[in-house]
Structure 1
Amino acid sequence: MVIIVGAGPIGLATAIELKRRNIPAKIIERGCLVNSIFHYPKDMTFFSTSERLEIGDVPFISHNSKPTRREALEYYRRAAESYDLDIHLYEEVQNISGQDQNFTVQTDKDNYKASKVVVATGFYDVPKMMDIPGENLDKVRHYYDEAHAYAWQDVLVIGGGNSAVDAALETYRTNANVTLAVRDSQIKESVKYWVKPDIQNRIKNEEITGYFNTEVKEIRKNEVVLDTPGGTKTIANDFVLAMTGYKPNFNLMTSFGIDLTDDEDKMPVYNEKNLETNRKGMYVAGVVCGGMDTSKLFIENTRIHAEHIAGDIEKKLL
């Protein structure tokens, strides 16, 4: 039995590849199926085309050139059902003891024996905190859902990437008074090409107030303090959408016995050929392999991890 921690697209893909090799696998997920995608904004459209998100040769047919969050949720349910995968949802892995060929995976519901373990937990569960006064106020959100709640409110959006730009544009279109604070000198190059001109024009026309080379110094009940190139500015504020990004759960990985690199990326230590970590018999898969550099690994360029891992496990279990 192989235990896969995480029911994201790459966790599902790995279970599919193992099943194709007649190797039993069980997926354990602390949340819902493809939990990260479920927590994306409701109206989000992927940058990738649908075929680049496919797993297990299950066709992903989208109504448009770029699939939506809702279409992706339906697709991954269908992929899991197509292969009748053994998936335990809303069950959290708490400890992994033992050694290669004889692991014990302890959850909040049961204990499972496993010959191998694959960690495919992604990075969306832990937001990058700004560590500034007021960040713990109820009005501060590190996850953006939809725009309606912010109609006619003073909203500060923090960040210059896709999540921040989408949040700024959508809340603006519900008649929120939107300010965008960006640490860099411009919107990120990685922002979706069909969205970037929109945010640039809204800022140029002063429909959205944009502050660049700017840091948020403090969040207060009814205002925020910005450190801008023009000096300190205090503006009225009802909500803060801190789209500052996310990071892997490093504490979870180290508790599993996976070493991290000493540099700022904090990448898990693993063999690039088979993705086996320093803990023999334990593998990493998907975007979690990138550590803090969460911008270089995506579903489409980590799907191959499933084949590498399943192939290596097949050789070692023969």
Structure 2
Amino acid sequence: MIFPIHPALLLIFGSVIVESQTEETNICTTEGTKSLCVSREVIGLRGEDVTLPCRFTHEEESDMIALRVLFYLLTSSNKHYVYNSSSNYMDESFKGRIQPMGNASEGDGSVRITDLKMEDEGTYVCRFEWKTSLTTMDGFQARKGMQTQLRVDVRPEILRIWKESENSTNAEKLFCEAEAKPEPNITWMDPLGRLVELSGTMVGPDDTNQIQTIIISLNLTSQRPTGNYTCLAENQYGVVQELFNYEVFGRPSKTRHVLWTVLGGIIAAVALVALMAFACKWRRNRVKGPAR
């Protein structure tokens, strides 16, 4: 089923399809005739694919044997070895999710990570290695501050919608909980298609580099129309929406009110006709008097 979206929200759909975003200017580590260039920041979306560029140039081809590329993920405590192009080694957490995008033996060590996870976020070190003899290895890698920062963002997702009542005041509220990264913007739309005022509560976490969860509440008063209320959650990666049908017990919706009014009119008309028929029959019998 396709639900209507407020026209003001359609403006953001141009940026809904995102594979990855990289800075236009690469950063390069250079030493003598060797140079290794990567992207300073790469942004991908959870569950989708992203490419980490890494290109190595040099003027020592005759001295380099079996050129290969390795990737490390830096954590707060250590350096995590995740990929080796020569052996096609992948860390268990990346099993089957890293694909070479170029030929490492020709200096293109770019890789693609598929099905991005939040745990993939961090600093990646690209390193080229080669043999200078049968037993000696040499290498060259991006220096500290010249490495790739991978950021994993999240499309908005509505987690749940529910209604709560306060027994003391008989007041009712609708709640909509959504998550995204960056933080989602949540709005309610009433059955007439109007955006309505609401209040929001940040659930957490406080760290903006993590997925942000927000709960928005809507006060339901006697002036609110009954019917389908729409919760919309958005960030720069798209818009999602979900419906909640709101009807107050004892206060039927307009459609139901019309139906009951029509049905009541029909019943009243039938009762009136029956009463008139009975009155006419009674009058005729009285005029004729008892049979002799």
Give the TM-score of the pair, scaled to structure 1: 0.28
Q: Work out which of the two has the higher radius of gyration on C-alpha atoms and give 1 or 2.
A: 2
Question: Where is the helix percentage greater, Structure 1 or Structure 2?
Answer: 1
Tell which has more relative contact order, 1 or 2 (C-alpha 8 A, sep 6+).
1
Question: Where is the strand percentage greater, Structure 1 or Structure 2?
Answer: 2
